[in-house]
Chain A
Amino acid sequence: MEIALPGILPQEAPVDGMLVLVVRLLRQAARRAAGSWQRVRQSTADEEFLGRVESATERFGRHLLTAQDRDDLRDRVDAVIEDPEFHATLFGLVRRSLDKPGGLEDPLAQEPQLSELSEVEEPLRKVCGPASARAIHQGTRYMAEVLRVLHLYTRQPGVQEALRSEPGLQAAQSLAWEIVYNPDIPPQLARGVLAGQRMGALELAMLAALVRGEPLAPWLGLAVAERWLEEAREYLRLLVALTPGAVVSEELLPAEERLDVEALSLSMQQASRAFRELVEAAERAGEPIYPPEA
């Protein structure tokens, strides 16, 4: 069995675009504390796309902010990433950036600036509450690394082409789920794919909180910040594993926590063989359900 590991994530790259845009919108929202989106709109096309993000923030971000407890928040995040409109928003960004390279949200051409993130940290602390300060600070560091490595990832041969292919753009959600529901993809990598999407959903919640401009309930602010940090860390593990040449500090990602793609690939080959042996044993035994009852 062969796993085309470097090629499994091109459809994930829209998250890169989402993050870059969210950072810029967070910065805008942070600068103005709250209010309309008008000042970040630069053209009709930008306006159309930003309208989708605004709508996604309203629909998904606010939905997450009405969570009743941490379990509910977890469930709501998963409900968001399973919503086709969430994926349509991500892919709308890529389509938009391909149509108009160099535009406001041109994630494929511009490397995000870390200074953009530092502007966001303090306003996020204010809405998420003092207890979330550490998680926000750490999350911002992971987010910066995610953006940097994802930028490198999308520059690997074949990834840009995959991104620009029509089926890749049109079948956003189904492609993502093809990875997640593929039993031959190592669960560690599939978790990373989900983490990237969950991270994007939580950023919409943060954006919604900033736009609203009111502090969240302390438990909710902390829960959102901690989940964001957790997902960013998991997503970074995936990206580093799939991006040759990506260098990330040991402090952020200790060696023992990194994913060894070759070892994972080998273990999946062993699992595939074990499955094949099981099928052959069942056929030899002629049992409709195998193993039969003892």
Chain B
Amino acid sequence: MRVSPSTPQRPDPRPGDFAWLAVGGGPHPGVVIRVDSPTRRALVLYGTGTSRELEHRLVRPEGREGKALGLSKPTYFHITNLRLARYELLRLEAKRCPPGLFVELNALALKGLPLMTESQLLQGLPEVQAQSG
């Protein structure tokens, strides 16, 4: 009898989970903000190493929050660094965003969400304009 190798079940992401997300050609550290189970998509606020002229939350690697996320350099979570990704594209790690930081990132995401509507995207995200400007 053939026994097919069992594949470990990937846990579904939850708000507050740490995840790597491939954006702009490379993996970025991110925090899951919301999930939509029916479509298996997660809203992730990801960080970058470069600061821009946008509202953001900086997390330093030497601080408690940076250590909890395993960051290796100062990381900027900008208001427009939101992506809705299919679960299978998230590389989850067994790390949780500290509660205080999650509340702040969720507040940023709530401000950023209205900028992600189709009509706003057609006009260009502020980050895209900033990068091309």
Residues of A whose CB lies within 8 Å of any CB of B are: 71, 75, 78-79, 81-82, 177, 180-183, 187, 190-191, 194, 267-268, 270-271, 274-275, 277-279, 281-283, 288-291, 293-294
Q: Can you show 21 pairs from A to B with CB atoms below 8 A apart? A: A180-B99, A181-B99, A182-B15, A183-B34, A183-B106, A187-B104, A187-B106, A190-B103, A190-B106, A268-B110, A274-B113, A275-B43, A277-B118, A279-B39, A279-B41, A281-B118, A290-B83, A291-B121, A291-B125, A294-B124, A294-B125
B43 near A180: Cβ-Cβ < 8 Å: no
B103 near A187: Cβ-Cβ < 8 Å: yes
Q: Which residue of B lies closest to A293 (CB)?
A: B24
- Min CB distance A38 to B, Å, is 37
Q: Which residue of A lies closest to B62 (CB)?
A: A71
Kindly list chain B residues whose C-beta atoms are within 8 Å of the C-beta of A283.
39
**Which has the most chain A C-beta neighbours within 10 Å: B22, B106, B118, B128?**
B106
A274 near B117: Cβ-Cβ < 8 Å: yes
- Min CB distance A196 to B, Å, is 13
B5 at the binding interface (Cβ < 8 Å): no
A279 near B84: Cβ-Cβ < 8 Å: yes
B63 at the binding interface (Cβ < 8 Å): yes
Apart from A183-B106, A194-B103, A294-B124, what 13 extra A-B contacts exist at CB < 8 Å? Answer: A78-B98, A79-B64, A181-B15, A187-B104, A194-B99, A267-B110, A278-B84, A278-B117, A282-B39, A288-B85, A289-B21, A289-B22, A291-B84
B114 at the binding interface (Cβ < 8 Å): yes
Q: Count residues on chain B whose CB falls below 8 Å from chain A CBs.
A: 39
- Min CB distance B19 to A, Å, is 12
Say which residue of A78, A177, A275, A281 sits within 8 Å of B34 (CB atoms): A275
Q: How far is the CA of A81 from the CA of B36 in the complex (A)?
A: 29
Secondary structure of the A contact surface, majority rule: helix
B107 at the binding interface (Cβ < 8 Å): yes
B47 at the binding interface (Cβ < 8 Å): no
